[in-house]
Amino acid sequence: MRQSVVVLDSFIPVADLSAALEVGGLDVEVVAATEIPSGAGIVALLVGPETVGLDDRHLAALPDLRLLAATSAGYDHLPVDAAVGRGIRVTRAVDYCTDEVADHALALSVGLLRSTARLDAAVHAGEWDVVASPPRRIAGTVLGLFGFGLIGHAFALRAHALGMTVLASGRSLAGRVPEWVEVVEWDELLQRSDVLSLHVPLTDDTAGIVDAAALRRMRRGSYLINVSRGGLVDHDALGAALRHGRLAGAAIDVLPTEPPDQEDPILAIPNLVITPHAAWYSPDVASRLARQSADNLLAVLEGRTPKGVVG
């Protein structure tokens, strides 16, 4: 029986993955699928974040599975413990879209501070008034980063180049940040940030961490950026904070439900910029993901440690 790799992610180019595996000397069939597969011969399952419901029952129906890979930095959609318990390697994508996400977070932050979306909407509505939504100066603005991995670090470098003051909070940051980044506790990050940007995975510890209490501790007139996972934020509380003027604005690239229904209340929240989970994307990203996935499968089959191991 010929071995196969099943791809549950429409953004992964099957041709690029097949070519990368062939270069590595591995003769396997690469199959694009829209439903979770079952059966013998499947050695790797590549799963995008849009796939939900994958659990141990599906793993039990894949007796030859050696690699379960999230084709994203986040892996909360994978049954990590169940896979590890079956001896299956679990990985997440690493450093495939660091620059893209950092650029997107910076663009959202600068857009909020300079009021570009609100000023554009006002002009299209027949207004011509800079004072109605006054742009703010970027230099000297305090950027608070919750999480300081590759993306947080890349964003910090960009913000520092613009003259922003950078704070960081999260686990195990000591010794990992430049001298111009001030490491603070979560509560201080909330209180001092003009722009709070989230760069942590969705876990039991981080789910809903930006709740009503956290939003009340944020500086009045500050901004929130989320390019990580929608579940980090209580969006009902965020809506209340924006409607009552506690926050001046927010920009999010991730939602609890994607795409949202047109009747979803989140679309009616004022001063909220929403992009369609686009922070990770550029035309080059898909081929990078394909190459990394191929390298990881080769590593697993050869008894080596792949990149991005979780669990």
Q: Which active-site residues does the annotation give? A: 229, 258, 277
Q: What is the DSSP letter of 43?
A: E
Residue 26 burial by CB count (10 A; 0-12/13-18/19+): exposed, middle or buried?
middle
| Rounded distance between C-alpha atoms, residue 239 and residue 115, angstroms | 19
Coil, helix or strand at residue 248: strand
8 Å CB contact between 227 and 201: no
CB-based burial, 182-215: b 16+ in 10 Å, e otherwise: bbbeeeebbebbbbbbbbbbbeeebeebbeeebb
Element spanning 214, H or E:
helix 212-217
Element (H, E) at 225: strand 222-226
Tokens for 224?
Answer: 């929130």
Give the side-chain half-sphere CA count within 13 A for 137: 4
Per DSSP, the three-state class of 115 is coil
Closest by Cα among 110, 213, 212, 214 to 161: 110
CB under 8 Å to 52, separation ≥6 — which residues? 77
Please state, in angstroms and rounded to a whole number, the distance separating the CA atoms of residues 129 and 139: 23
